[in-house]
Amino acid sequence: MKNPVKKSLELAHFAWRLPVYWRLFQSQCHRWEGHFPFDTVFLGSETHFRGPDLATGHEIFESMAFERSEYMEARGFLRLAKGCSNFVDLGASGGFFSALFAASRESGQILSVEPDPTSFAALQSTRDKNVRPGIRWDCDARGAGAEDKSTPVYGTGYGVGIIAPYGQTDAVAAFEMHTVTLESLCMEHSMVPDLIKFDVESMEYEILQQSAGWLQRLRPRLHLELHTPILRSRGLNEGKRPEFPLRY
């Protein structure tokens, strides 16, 4: 009975992943037909961009473009970004959403913020491959926070965390991340955002608290990844009514 059951499970798993394989195949076909570079990723037939030089970063780009939940997030981001021209990408990593924003409009301004050195190098290569006339794209190696200070963080090889994974402080490299406020970052880069993406490992709590008044004045659209487990591990309650009256 073991072999038939195993084969049935394998077939079910293959069938469940067929949409992922199909999106990957379609992207490859578009790339081959158009003689695009090997690192080009297609999200649909029209929107395409190039991944970073770092192999890990390129694999993550393909995962973001083809895997079921990530593909839906990318599609949702495009709907949210429709009509926007000034994008701040907090926790940009290798720059997937920044590249997607650049590829989906003729002109605009992008500020990609990523404090992890490995990811920042990948981000710069993504920017250099995808920037074009009409797109202003700045990268900043600091982090956004509640104030101008240094904060200890842990490198994961591709990204940072403000707590060590599973409490294993010896397993990852720690370094000091220089943070500045979101408003200061934008002012320094002459950026007035109408769209902001947050993927900052629970520091969204401090950034939103500190930037509430500024955000209310500008009223940008927010693409927010809420890191609930990390927030709770820090003793913060994501369900508690905030101290500021942030209304959209």
What pLDDT is attached to residue 69? 93
d(CA 60, CA 57): 5
d(CA 105, CA 1): 55
Sketch the domain layout of the chain as residue ranges: 2-233
Closest residue by Cα to residue 178 from 215, 137, 143, 204: 143
Dihedral angle sign, alpha carbons of residues 110, 114, 118, 120? positive
Q: How many CB atoms lie within 10 A of CB 3?
A: 7
Return the minimum-mean-pLDDT range out of 4-18, 25-39, 77-91: 4-18
pLDDT digits (tens, 9 = 90+) for 162-215: 665 555 555 556 778 899 999 999 999 999 999 999 998 888 888 999 999 999
Superfamily holding 2-233: Vaccinia Virus protein VP39 (3.40.50.150)
CA torsion 191-195-200-206 (nearest 10°) is 80
Return the minimum-mean-pLDDT range out of 7-11, 40-44, 64-68, 216-220: 7-11
pLDDT digits (tens, 9 = 90+) for 134-172: 999 999 999 998 888 888 887 777 777 666 555 555 555
How far apart, in Å, are the Cα atoms of 144 and each of 16, 53, 84, 140, 208? Answer: 39, 25, 21, 10, 10
What pLDDT is attached to residue 218? 96
What length does the chain have? 248
